[in-house]
C-alpha cells in the first residue's frame, strides 16, 4: 500500500540538531514505517485517476515517531561523541561524589579502569568543546589539573528540542482537525 504524509511540509526540526536535512529524512522515513505498521487501523483511499490504494499518515503516527526518535535527535544535537558524553556524565558524578571540582588524569585512572590513550582522547575532546579546562600543573610533572566548566549542561538544548517537537505536533494536529471538520 502506498503512503501519503499530508503533514510532511509542517514537520520542522529545531535549529540545534546537526545535519537537519539528513535528520528530517530519517524522521519522515520513520513516520512512513509507522504508518505502514498501522495500515490496518487506517482508512484506505483509492486514487480516482489511477485506482491505486493509499493510506494517509495520522497525527498519532507522527507523535509516536517523535517519541521513539527523541533520544536519537538529542544525540544528533550533541556536539560530543556518544562515548565522550558518557564519560563526561561519569566524570561529573565522580567529582560530585568526591566533593571536588578539580582532577588529574591519574585521579581518573585510579577511580576507573580506562586506557591512558582513551582517557587522553576523552579529555582532548572535552577540552576542545570547552567542557573542561586546564587550571594548573604541567605536562612533565604530575600532569595537568583539570576543572569542569559550566558549559556541559545539555538540558537547555534538550528542552528547546522538546518544545520545538511539541509545537510541530500541535501544528499537525490543528491541520488534521481542520481537514476532518
pTM for the full model?
Answer: 0.72
Helix 155-179 to helix 59-77 angle, to the nearest 10 degrees?
A: 160
Q: Evaluate whether 73 touches 25 at the Cβ level (below 8 Å).
A: no
Q: How far apart are CA 11 and CA 59, in angstroms?
A: 11
pLDDT confidence of 152, banded at 50, 70, 90? low
CA angle 166, 171, 177 (to 5 degrees): 125
Instruction: Give the residue-averaged pLDDT of 104-125.
Output: 92
Amino acid at each position: 500500500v502506498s503512503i501519503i504524509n499530508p503533514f510532511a511540509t509542517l514537520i520542522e526540526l529545531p535549529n540545534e540538531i546537526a545535519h537537519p536535512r539528513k535528520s528530517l529524512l530519517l524522521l519522515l522515513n520513520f513516520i512512513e514505517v509507522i504508518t505502514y505498521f498501522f495500515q490496518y487501523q487506517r482508512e484506505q483511499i483509492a486514487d480516482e485517476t489511477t485506482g491505486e490504494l493509499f493510506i494517509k499518515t495520522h497525527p498519532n503516527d507522527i507523535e509516536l515517531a517523535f517519541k521513539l526518535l527523541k533520544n536519537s535527535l538529542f544525540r544528533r544535537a550533541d556536539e560530543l561523541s556518544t562515548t565522550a558524553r558518557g564519560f563526561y556524565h561519569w566524570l561529573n558524578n565522580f567529582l560530585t561524589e568526591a566533593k571536588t571540582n578539580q582532577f588529574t588524569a591519574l585521579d581518573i585512572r585510579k577511580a576507573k579502569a580506562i586506557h591512558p590513550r582513551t582517557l587522553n582522547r576523552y579529555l582532548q575532546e572535552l577540552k576542545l568543546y570547552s567542557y573542561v579546562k586546564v587550571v594548573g600543573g604541567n605536562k612533565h610533572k604530575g600532569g595537568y589539573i583539570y576543572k569542569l566548566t559550566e558549559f556541559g549542561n545539555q538540558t537547555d538544548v534538550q528542552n528547546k528540542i522538546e518544545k520545538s517537537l511539541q509545537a510541530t505536533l500541535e501544528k499537525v494536529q490543528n491541520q488534521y482537525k481542520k481537514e476532518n471538520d
